[in-house]
Amino acid sequence: MAEDETTAEEQNPPAESTGFGFRLSESIIHAIDRQIISSGLRLIMFLPAFATLTYFLSWAFSQTSPSFWSDNIEPNVGMSFATFNASLTFVVVLGYILAVGFHRYRVSISLRTFHQRVEQSNDEHRSVQSLQGYDGLLYQLQTSMAHHTKSLAFSVMASVMLIAVLWYGAGSVYGNLFLLASVSFLVLSVGQHLPTRSNPFNMVEQTGLLQAYNPPVHPSTLNMVFNDLIKTHMDPLLRAEYDDYVKHLESGFKRTVDRHFAHEKFLMTLYRHATGLDRKTLESEMSEILTKVGMDFVFNHEVFTLEAWLVLIGTISQRCPAFFRMVDRLKQDMESGRSPVMNDLIFEVDMENVVTEKANLFTLFHNLSKETKTVVFRVQTPNFEPKDLALTYRLEPGEKYWWSTEALPLAAKGNDDVLGKMSGLLKDSTVSWQTLIPTTNGDATVSVRLEETNGELLLGRQINVRVRSEFRQWLRTTGSYVAYLFGGFGVVLALTFLLIEVFGGVAA
């Protein structure tokens, strides 16, 4: 009997041992944080803004209360208008402390879950630490946690200074100095919180680390175009899961379908689903490359659900809009039956219209002829680094003629549709991904040339872009530095005058 109970316990471990209970609590905490504190109502930003008003009222009426208060309210409550506002400020700051503390607690749980997931991957012989970008991601998460800790500490100091204000009286000299110190600490607390809003993260959602992850490097020539692009933007944990996902996915491909073609069509179809392709057509196109077992694997996967794919593709579309704009332009050419500019070569290039930190230059070459071609791709620009770039590509003939001068439907049975042609085109094409770093702000130009090996020009393009700072990032960074400056100056000023007042009074 004891043996049967042990067996049942091993088969059905308690929720705590599987991490389900911990996961559920993190989900609830994250939902509260997202709806009320950090997003939604945004109490973590609203409360300091409201406290600024009450701070000002307490300072402005520190000597005399307004007539409506002194005549009607102060005799009944026995409290000056400045003291009332200082008390109200204390309540608001206390609420802000609870909001910051709750948000920090949520971040600490997410960071703890991140380490647990890394250890779990190591136990499953998937070393996440060795993957590209892990150290940078870990540093980003730990830095965010440090900012939250400092923000909480400064907010507590602000409340302590307010207690001193109420102790000495809002209208006294010491009260005004502690009031200045309190508002300065609150400003420093907000300044510590602002940078964390640019890279939020959580471990509740499978894609919760994407916004915090910034790929350090990327391949300059994409082999499996969509696959390489997506893997580059996946955080290390998601990439480790994706490697296992691909192994099982390949076992679900039909044997008559080329593996590389199936990969490109699979991801191309998901991208089209993200841009409006209906579920029925999605399943129909997937069934052309996947077996029934493969279909069940794709549509019932716990990590890479359709919602997760939509978030992932949406994130990449925001970071690399030039690539998807280039793909959409080729799609429109195929849908309308437009002939390429050169009969034996497809050459497409695109870059962001507005550049912030870096520019992503994507170029696609596809040899339509039956002979090998060697071309030189040259980039020249006075406004970016590198200023002069020349790459030589050997373009082999495609396995199939992936183009049509007749209008094609987006999706149809077989591969003679836009999805099939585009997937084959990306499989056989050479796609270059170059990162250009802007050296100046304002209008900038990039000249792109496609040349023969002897220097003869085949095709040339000039791209005009606008280089500027990303507004939200600039606002948060500037606001953070301004908060550090004014908050630090206020603390030093309050401490200086406090020392003068104390030692000046002792000397007298």
Is the confidence at residue 127, as pLDDT, over 90?
no
Residue 506 — very low, low, confident or very high, per pLDDT cuts 50/70/90? low
Three-state DSSP string of 281-341: HHHHHHCCCECHHHHHHHHCCCCCCHHHHHHHHHHHHHHCHHHHHHHHHHHHHHHHCCCCC
Residues 6 or more apart whose Cβ sits within 8 Å of residue 499:
none
pLDDT tens figures, 436-461: 999 989 999 999 999 998 888 989 99
Phi, psi of 495 (to 5 degrees): -65, -40
Q: What is the mean pLDDT of the chain?
A: 89
- What is residue 505's predicted lDDT score, i.e. its pLDDT? 58
Cα–Cα distance for residue pair 254/286, rounded to 1 Å = 11
What are 362's strand-pairing partners? 350, 433
CATH homologous superfamily of 321-468: Immunoglobulins (2.60.40.10)
DSSP calls for 346-392: EEEEE--SEESS-EEEEEEEEE-SSS-EEEEEEEE-SSEESSEEEEE
pLDDT tens figures, 209-244: 999 999 988 999 998 899 999 999 999 999 999 989
pTM comes to 0.86
Q: How many residues does the chain have?
A: 508
Q: Which of 14, 23, 17, 8 is nearest to 302 (CA)?
A: 23
DSSP calls for 174-203: HHHHHHHHHHHHHHHHHHHHGGGGGS---S
Per DSSP, which regions of 396-504 are E strands? 430-438, 442-452, 457-467
Residue type, 4: D
| Residue 57: other Cβ atoms inside 10 A | 18
The CATH 2.60.40.10 domain(s) of the chain lie at 321-468
Mean local confidence (pLDDT), 468-478: 90
* CB contact at 8 A, 442 and 436: no
Name the residue with tokens 């200082």: 86
Is the confidence at residue 8, as pLDDT, over 90?
no
Please give the distance of CA 254 from its chain centroid, rounded to a whole number.
35
